[in-house]
């Protein structure tokens, strides 16, 4: 079974590039363009992992993650925050919001995929 990834990013070129690379690696990708849509998609699609841009319209990525992690049916979905802000305080804010990991833009795909694989393995081990 292919892992389903929810990719949340309001920038179409980022979504397109990352979606294609993930699909090429065998992931099934669903997308959302803002935090509210991300919550709706997470409920409807039950992804294996969420890649959450931090700076989003309607509901930002950290607020969406806090809401996601407060819901018993969604809280176990791993979330990786994606942001152009690379300071230690940004990483701390992402962790405090409930993100399981953090990566910076521009995306270095190999590094991101390693982080995804670790979280997907941990998540699979918890459900066995």
Instruction: Give the total number of structural domains in the chain.
Output: 1
Contacts of 76 (CB under 8 A, 6+ apart): 123, 126, 127
**pLDDT per residue as tens digits for the range 56-74:** 999 999 999 999 999 999 9
Rounded to the nearest angstrom, the gap between the alpha carbon of residue 19 and the centroid of all alpha carbons in its chain is 12
Cis amide prior to 106 (ω within 30 degrees): yes
Q: Look up the domain containing 57 and give its range.
A: 4-127
pLDDT over 70 percentage in the chain: 98
Taking the whole predicted model, whether its pTM rises above 0.75 is answered as yes
**pLDDT per residue as tens digits for the range 64-106:** 999 999 999 999 999 999 998 878 898 999 999 999 999 999 9
For residue 91, the domain's CATH number is: 3.40.50.2300
């Amino acid at each position: 079974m292919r892992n389903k990834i929810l990719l949340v990013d309001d920038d179409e070129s980022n979504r397109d590039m990352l979606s294609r690379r993930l699909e090429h690696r065998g992931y099934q990708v669903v997308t959302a363009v803002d935090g509210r849509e991300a919550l709706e998609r997470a409920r409807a699609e039950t992804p294996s992992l969420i890649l959450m841009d931090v700076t989003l319209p309607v509901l930002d990525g950290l607020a969406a993650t806090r809401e996601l992690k407060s819901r018993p049916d969604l809280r176990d979905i791993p979330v990786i925050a994606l942001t152009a802000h690379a300071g230690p305080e940004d990483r701390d804010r992402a962790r405090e919001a409930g993100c399981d990991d953090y990566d910076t833009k521009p995306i270095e795909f190999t590094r991101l995929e390693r982080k995804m694989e670790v979280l997907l393995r941990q998540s699979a081990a918890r459900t066995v």
